[in-house]
Amino acid sequence: MGLKNRSRLAAAILLLLTTALLSSGCASLVSNAASGLADNLSSAILNQDDPETVRAGMPSYMLLMDSFVEGSPDDPAMLGAAANLYASYGAVFVDDAARASRLTARARDYALRGICAIYLAACDWRSLNHDDFIATLSGLTDRHADAVYVYVFATLAYLRAHSSDWNSLAELPQAEALVKRYLELSGDSANGAAHMYLGIILTLRPPALGGKPEEARVHFEKAIALSGGRDLSAKIEFAKGYARLLYERELHDQLVNEVLQASPYEQGKTLTNVLAQEEALQLRAAADDYF
């Protein structure tokens, strides 16, 4: 059987499975199956060592997640899974600025609906001024932590896709406060990538416009330490966000070389590590011109 026919067969099987689930009349079955699919899909993507396979395959599953959200519009797990897929694809695999803008906007909308479903005060986050937004964070508890993390990730993807829009950058203080609240809620169980996200947020603006590079450095180093140095994306973000911002060539080159010399294979991080190594090659090639 040829590659094209195998692909069609796989698509047909997936369509039949989806149709059967959606027509079964059992909402819990659909929800459980969709949650399991989302979890397995996320694991498969993160452990994939060929980014082009992910680039080609993700849109089909994004549409599939859309269909699951249609069937369970208030399910935080479904909304979170959809938000993660759209944010990841829009931020990493889309080169067209207009598409990245649309996809990450959808990701953030899904993420907001997810946190709104379990924490009503979050429903108005997008329309609140800074002080009123901050006031809502005290009501968050550890049961909201996962949804908060998804919203942070989707928001960061959105802000990066809209980095030329000064109105979007005005949201950075809220994003910073939300990551810090997530870290408070999660304690020792916090996802180490949250420290990387906070480092990114703190370096998206230069110091003269409110950036906090030295505070960011602490979080980049924390993210690296928590992963035992195996999260190569944290080192790349450290190099881009801090070393380049402050023109620290020695630190920049050290981080880039460490990334290139490491094995990318790590459970749950292989894809991001491969992408980090691709970016490290670009950073090394452009270093002489930049510095």
Q: What is the DSSP string of the chain?
A: --HHHHHHHHHHHHHHHHHHHHTS--HHHHHHHHHHHHHHHHHHHHT-S-HHHHHHHHHHHHHHHHHHHHHSTT-HHHHHHHHHHHHHIIIII---HHHHHHHHHHHHHHHHHHHHTT-GGGGGGGG--HHHHHHHHTT--GGGHHHHHHHHHHHHHHHHHTTT-HHHHTTHHHHHHHHHHHHHHHGGGS-THHHHHHHHHHHSS-GGGT--HHHHHHHHHHHHHHTTT--HHHHHHHIIIIITTTT-HHHHHHHHHHHHHS----TTTHHHHHHHHHHHHHHHHHHHHH-
- Mean of pLDDT values over 129-155: 96
Tokens encoding 170: 């005005």
Percentage with pLDDT > 90 across the chain:
72
**7 band by pLDDT with thresholds 50, 70 and 90:** very low
Does 151 score more than 70 pLDDT? Answer: yes
Does 207 score more than 50 pLDDT? Answer: yes
> What per-residue confidence (pLDDT) applies to 3?
47
> pLDDT tens digit string along 81-138?
899 999 999 999 999 999 999 999 999 999 999 999 999 999 999 999 999 999 999 9
Does 214 score more than 80 pLDDT? Answer: yes
> What per-residue confidence (pLDDT) applies to 208?
86
> What per-residue confidence (pLDDT) applies to 135?
98
> What per-residue confidence (pLDDT) applies to 15?
45
> pLDDT tens digit string along 48-84?
999 999 999 999 989 988 998 998 899 998 899 899 9
> pLDDT tens digit string along 217-233?
999 999 999 999 999 99
Residue with the bigger pLDDT between 183 and 15: it is 183
> pLDDT tens digit string along 160-190?
888 777 777 788 999 999 999 999 999 988 9
> What per-residue confidence (pLDDT) applies to 34?
60
Please tell me the pTM assigned to this model: 0.85
**17 band by pLDDT with thresholds 50, 70 and 90:** very low
